[in-house]
Amino acid sequence: MEISIYNNLFVDIKQRILSAQLKAALSVNTEMILLYWQIGNSIAEKQNMQGWSSGVIPQLSKDLKFEFPNLKGYSERNLGRMLAFYREYPDDSILPQAVAKLPWGHNILLIEKVKDQNIRFWYAEKCVENNWSRDILDLQIKSNLFERHGKSINNFESTLPKPLSDLANETLKDPYIFDFLTLDKGFRERDVEKQLIQHITKFLLELGKGFAYIGNQYHLQIADQDYYIDLLFYHIKLKCYIVIELKNTRFKPEFAGKLNFYLSAVDSLIKEETENPTIGILLCKDKNNIEAEFALRDIKKPIGISEIHLVESLPENLKSSLPTIEEIENEFKNFNNFS
């Protein structure tokens, strides 16, 4: 049994199970979200009309718990969140959209972490589209996905027909954040590649919805010469192969030429007639956007160039010089004794 094929099967089934679970939860939660909005609305109206203070919430929570002892969700804190939820969305016409489709915990996370309402709606829509769990949503917000999506330097507009070019552009990010890797100083491209495969689930999450892993160091034979693609994927929505090349260095124009060569090879040797042109993604440690744009200007194959952000492990000699948790706690104790 080939490991890479099994991993694809496992990831696919896992995502299908999670998707089915979340869809069932969304259906049930829609009515609950509307109820919570109505409760928040009622509290706000009474506070405005009667001049009641926030003190009404503890009393209301106590009475609701007494009346419905087996129901959860009516703590002081949650009632306060219902009030905040209503104040964020005072017009109930917004509820049938993505906000109403999300579980309560997702909505609270969005309200607390994303203050700009338009950006919040974007995350809500992506959450529904991709069936993100609350933890995944939190991770995407922390990694500032909104600012990164669709920001790669690419030539899709001149090499792909619409709307495929727009979809391809939205699919790419800049930068890609691989903070789940542990790399020592002086690592090579192959080290990054190996760890990305070892963390394939997290890698696919960062790439985004639709990527299916085909293989790494994918072998191509051209004119009796052996060539190896760093990473080969297939994108289900774009209906095309995706070639990813990793460079642990600053972008150089010649990288685009080599990737263009690989795209021509995949289009000729692997791609079916019914599939869209193969897309290349060049991931570099750093790049100059103007230089990258010039490098892609006359290339006829679709290529996107993005940076990668990695977290290198601390050298052992530096680790030994850092204070331990116990030492920091002792410093605080000593400080408190003198204050």
Span 35-55, pLDDT tens digits: 889 888 888 887 777 666 667
Nearest CA among 242, 71, 239, 78 for reference residue 154 = 242
| pLDDT per residue as tens digits for the range 108-117 | 999 999 999 9
Residues near 132 by beta carbon (within 8 Å), at least 6 away in sequence:
106, 126, 140
The predicted pLDDT at position 267 comes to: 97
The predicted pLDDT at position 335 comes to: 41
Contact between residue 179 and residue 142 where contact means Cβ atoms under 8 Å apart: no
Burial class (CB in 10 A: 0-12, 13-18, 19+), 9: exposed
Where are the chain's structural domains? Answer: 3-142, 148-314
Q: What is the DSSP string of 170-205?
A: HH-BSSEEEEEEEE-TT--HHHHHHHHHHTHHHHHH
The predicted pLDDT at position 5 comes to: 62
Question: Average pLDDT for residues 4-11, to the nearest whole number?
Answer: 62
Question: What is the distance of C-alpha 279 from the center of its chain?
Answer: 20
pLDDT at 269 over 90: yes
- pTM, to two decimals: 0.74
Question: Average pLDDT for residues 68-90, to the nearest whole number?
Answer: 89
pLDDT at 107 over 60: yes
CA 74, 75, 76: angle at the middle one, nearest 5? 120
Lowest mean pLDDT among 104-108, 207-211, 319-323: 319-323
CATH of domain 148-314: 3.40.1350.10
| pLDDT per residue as tens digits for the range 153-177 | 999 999 999 999 999 999 999 999 9
User: Cβ of 74: how many Cβ atoms within 10 Å?
Assistant: 19
